[in-house]
């Protein structure tokens, strides 16, 4: 029977393939450039300003996705997509249509008309069809940019604006053509069998109510040209494996655990055996968690963050503040930044203990032979990537920026990702005097607890990841997904109480509360080993548009905080299941 199923999957996969278009890289760039030139030369409506800058990008993607449940495929599909995105600016570098929040338009706009500067292109596009789609997208972009520009001018006429920053930074043309890549082949039917088998492991753990196993492989090639003469062709390969399980403790407390691993190509994923071990360890941990003790009271004291937890809290709480943000102007005035604004005016100030430094290293492609998924050579605006020191010996040096000038950063440092500045590969390093082996960190934790007369300390090994929380848990968790949860609350997935004698006890139901970017100054020691966390991080966007998730890599040591807080989950738990899991029935 099993063999028959495999056959079916294979057939399905074959049916999903189709021929790819035969247009060459050169012809694609040529189509982009020709249409760009035509638009720059002739796109003009009387009494409206002409475009001074246009950029075109075309993204061609092949996507393979599959999910599996208890040994059976739930979803498996392959899709091919081609999308163009046009950005067009009217006015000049000093003052153009951007950095302005226009609420009134774009709602109710559209119907059957061109309503976006992002358009799908036929999957087997040719030179003509590409130019046709660019033509329509550019026309829309021009009209909407001109409209926004006139609104912005009108707003400015009525206000005394303190912000006299230019809207767009000048940049030298840069060319980066990477056509030497080979798209790694993928045996999708084999992958489907792999995730089927991995999902089958959950069957042996019937206390786990619901589970999820998925695989995703995205092959992108992006073609880019702009009117300043920059151009690039860059491939991007992304592979992800995610699994999660959910159960309820006898008191109803919902418990989740997950494992995710991201890489460039499927060949770079961990071996089947290692994935199998990871799934088993999640299952085991969840089963243990179910019977573990809860945190009876809020804990305030030293906390040691190790492995995934160290990288995650850095990525979720600290790093978003290292992104330069430009407040937007609107009819109501300048919109103040509400999120991740802790360090916008802090350049030169101390943000970490003086033994710690943070580097942005997009050019670094590997760590111990494992690919860093945040790696790139040219950013999405065509600016060459560079490695930067963001925090040096505790002091903030600079922020990550794109070509949108901000008060402190006037030029791009090559960090535009999906239209906003964003972090990519981040390396957190420390003076060796403060880098200690795990054993010593634990001892220090115990010592601090003794000093404060605390009965125990806490080690956090894993916390919830934002992407997993938003995309996987709604599918398997018995609790309603809270879209905008309380800020600064991070669910703890795996944590231990550490008693003075050194023994550890697994606890469940903790939430990290009140960890702010400033809390990182309270780090007193770090580990002497570096843990690599490849993750999908939500783009920090200053406007309301969501930039989605981008791949990032965090290289972080374990972190010992002198003072942090964990509280027990404080909501009403859903009732545990009324009926037993069918997995344990013998009917």
Partner 1 sequence: MKKLIYIAFLIIICLTSNFIHAQDEKIIVSSLKKELARFLDKLKTEQYPPYYLSYIVFDIETATISNSFGRTATKNNSRNKILNIDLRVGNYTLDNTHKTEIDAFSFSSYQNTKLPLIGDEKALRTSIWNATEKAYKDATKQYQSVLSNRALKVKEEDTSADFTQEIPPTIYFEPKETYRIDLDKWERIFRRVSTLFRQNKWLLDGKISFSFENQYKIFVDSEGAEISQNQPKFRINIFVRTKADDGMVLYLSKNFFGFKEEELPPEDSIKSALVELIDKLKKLTNAPLMETYSGPAILKGEASGVFFHEILGHRAEGHRQKDPRSAQTFKSFLNKQVLPEFIDVVFDPTISELNGTKLSGFYKYDDEGVKAQKVVCIENGIFKNFIMSRSPIENFPKSNGHGRKSYGYRAVARQSNLIVESSKKVPFAKLREMLIEECKRQGKEYGLLFEKVEGGFTFTSRTIPNAFNVLPIVVYKVYTDGRPDELVRGVDLIGTPLTTFSNITATADDMEVFNGICGAESGPVPVSAASPSILVSKIEVQKKEKSEEKPPVLPSP
Binding site for partner 1 (CB under 8 A): 4-5, 7-8, 11-12, 15-16, 18, 21, 34-35, 38-39, 42-45, 67-77, 79-80, 111-114, 120, 122-126, 128-129, 131-132, 134-136, 139, 142-143, 203, 209-210, 478, 574-575, 577-579, 581-583, 587
**Shortest reach from residue 28's CB to partner 1, in Å:** 14
- Helix axis angle for 272-290 and 188-200, nearest 10°, is 30
**Shortest reach from residue 520's CB to partner 1, in Å:** 40
The token duo for 375 is 């790696």
The token duo for 30 is 């040529």
CB nearer to partner 1: give 140 or 259.
140
CB nearer to partner 1: give 78 or 260.
78
Please give the angle made by the CA atoms of 466, 469 and 474, to the nearest 5 degrees: 155
CB nearer to partner 1: give 130 or 313.
130
User: Any residues with CB less than 8 A from the CB of 408 and at least 6 apart, and which?
Assistant: 324, 344, 345, 347, 398, 399
* CA torsion angle 469 472 478 482 (round to 10): 40
**Shortest reach from residue 131's CB to partner 1, in Å:** 4
- Extract the runs of DSSP E, i.e. beta strands, from 315-367: 328-330, 333-335, 356-360, 366-367
Adjacent-strand bridge partners of 366: 371
CB nearer to partner 1: give 249 or 400.
249
**Shortest reach from residue 364's CB to partner 1, in Å:** 38
**Shortest reach from residue 557's CB to partner 1, in Å:** 40
- Extract the runs of DSSP E, i.e. beta strands, from 453-548: 457-463, 489-498, 504-508, 510-513, 523-527, 531-538
CB nearer to partner 1: give 113 or 501.
113
CB nearer to partner 1: give 16 or 347.
16
User: Any residues with CB less than 8 A from the CB of 5 and at least 6 apart, and which?
Assistant: none
CB nearer to partner 1: give 24 or 447.
24
Count of Cβ atoms closer than 10 Å to residue 529 Cβ: 12
CB nearer to partner 1: give 166 or 206.
206
**Shortest reach from residue 139's CB to partner 1, in Å:** 4
CB nearer to partner 1: give 142 or 531.
142
CB nearer to partner 1: give 568 or 574.
574
CB nearer to partner 1: give 72 or 298.
72
Distance between CA atoms of 456 and 292, rounded to whole angstroms? Answer: 16
The token duo for 272 is 């089947």
**Shortest reach from residue 135's CB to partner 1, in Å:** 5
CB 169 within 8 A of CB 403: yes
Parallel, antiparallel, or unpaired: how do β-strands 51-69 and 72-90 relate?
A: antiparallel
Tell me how far CA of residue 343 lies from CA of 168, 324, 400, 471, in angstroms.
Answer: 22, 9, 11, 29
**Shortest reach from residue 125's CB to partner 1, in Å:** 6
Distance between CA atoms of 194 and 199, rounded to whole angstroms? Answer: 9
Q: What is the DSSP code (8-state) at residue 106?
A: S
3-state helix, strand, coil in the chain (%, to 5): 25, 35, 40
**Shortest reach from residue 1's CB to partner 1, in Å:** 8
Count of Cβ atoms closer than 10 Å to residue 304 Cβ: 28
User: Which three-class secondary structure state does DSSP give residue 227?
Assistant: coil
3-state secondary structure 359-413: EECCCCCEECCEECCCCCCECCCCCECCCEEEEECCEECCCECCCCCCCCCCCCC
User: For residue 313, is it left (φ>0), alpha (ψ between -120 and 50) or beta?
Assistant: alpha
**Shortest reach from residue 120's CB to partner 1, in Å:** 7
CB nearer to partner 1: give 127 or 499.
127
**Shortest reach from residue 191's CB to partner 1, in Å:** 15
Q: What is the DSSP code (8-state) at residue 296?
A: -
**Shortest reach from residue 95's CB to partner 1, in Å:** 23
């Amino acid at each position: 029977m099993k063999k028959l199923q495999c056959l079916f999957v294979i057939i399905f996969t074959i049916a999903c393939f189709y021929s790819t278009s035969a247009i060459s890289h050169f012809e694609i760039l040529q189509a982009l450039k020709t249409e760009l030139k035509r638009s720059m030369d002739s796109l003009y409506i009387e009494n409206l300003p002409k475009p001074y800058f246009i950029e075109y990008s075309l993204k061609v993607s092949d996507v393979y996705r599959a999910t599996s449940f208890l040994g059976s495929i739930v979803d498996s599909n392959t899709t091919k997509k081609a999308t163009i995105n046009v950005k067009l600016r009217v006015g000049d570098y000093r003052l153009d249509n951007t950095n302005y929040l226009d609420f009134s338009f774009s709602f109710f706009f559209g119907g059957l008309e061109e309503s976006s500067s992002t358009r799908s292109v036929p999957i087997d596009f040719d030179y003509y069809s590409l130019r046709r789609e660019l033509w329509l997208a550019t026309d829309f972009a021009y009209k909407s940019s001109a409209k926004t520009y006139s609104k912005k001018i009108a707003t400015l006429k009525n206000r005394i604006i303190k912000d006299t920053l230019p809207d767009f930074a000048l940049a030298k043309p840069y060319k980066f053509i990477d056509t030497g890549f080979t798209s790694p082949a993928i045996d999708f039917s084999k992958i489907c069998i792999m995730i089927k088998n991995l999902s089958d492991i959950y069957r042996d753990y019937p206390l786990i109510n619901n589970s999820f196993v998925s695989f995703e492989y995205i092959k992108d090639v992006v073609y880019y040209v702009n009117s300043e003469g920059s151009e690039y062709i860059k491939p991007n390969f992304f592979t992800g494996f995610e699994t999660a399980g959910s159960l309820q403790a006898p008191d109803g407390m919902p418990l989740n655990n997950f494992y995710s691993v991201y890489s460039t190509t499927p060949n770079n994923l961990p071996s089947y055996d290692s994935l199998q071990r990871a799934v088993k360890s999640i299952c085991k941990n969840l089963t243990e968690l179910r019977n573990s003790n809860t945190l009876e009271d809020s804990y305030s004291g030293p906390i040691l963050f190790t492995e995934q937890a160290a990288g995650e809290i850095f990525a979720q709480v600290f790093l978003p503040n290292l992104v330069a943000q430009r407040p937007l102007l609107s009819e109501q005035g300048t919109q103040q930044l509400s999120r991740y604004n802790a360090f916008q005016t802090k350049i030169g100030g101390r943000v970490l203990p003086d033994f710690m430094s943070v580097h942005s290293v997009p050019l670094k492609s590997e760590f111990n032979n494992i690919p860093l998924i945040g790696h790139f050579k040219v950013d999405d605006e065509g600016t060459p990537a560079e490695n930067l020191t963001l925090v040096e010996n505790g002091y903030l040096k600079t922020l990550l920026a794109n070509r949108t000038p901000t008060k402190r950063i006037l030029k791009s440092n090559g960090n535009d990702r999906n239209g906003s500045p964003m972090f990519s590969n981040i390396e957190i390093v420390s003076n060796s005097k403060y880098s200690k082996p795990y054993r010593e960190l634990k001892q220090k934790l115990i010592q601090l607890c003794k000093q404060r007369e605390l009965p125990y300390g806490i080690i956090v090994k894993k916390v919830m990841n934002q992407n997993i929380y938003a995309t996987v848990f709604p599918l398997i968790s018995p609790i309603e997904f809270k879209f905008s949860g309380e800020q600064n609350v991070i669910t703890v997935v795996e944590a231990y109480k550490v008693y003075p004698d050194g023994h550890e006890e697994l606890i469940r139901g903790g939430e990290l509360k009140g960890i702010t970017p400033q809390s990182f100054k309270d780090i007193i020691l770090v580990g002497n080993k570096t843990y690599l966390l490849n993750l999908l991080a939500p783009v920090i966007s200053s406007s309301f548009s969501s930039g989605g998730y981008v791949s990032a890599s965090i290289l972080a040591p374990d972190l010992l905080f002198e003072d942090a807080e964990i509280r027990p989950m404080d909501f009403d738990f859903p009732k545990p299941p009324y009926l037993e899991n069918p997995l344990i029935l013998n009917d």
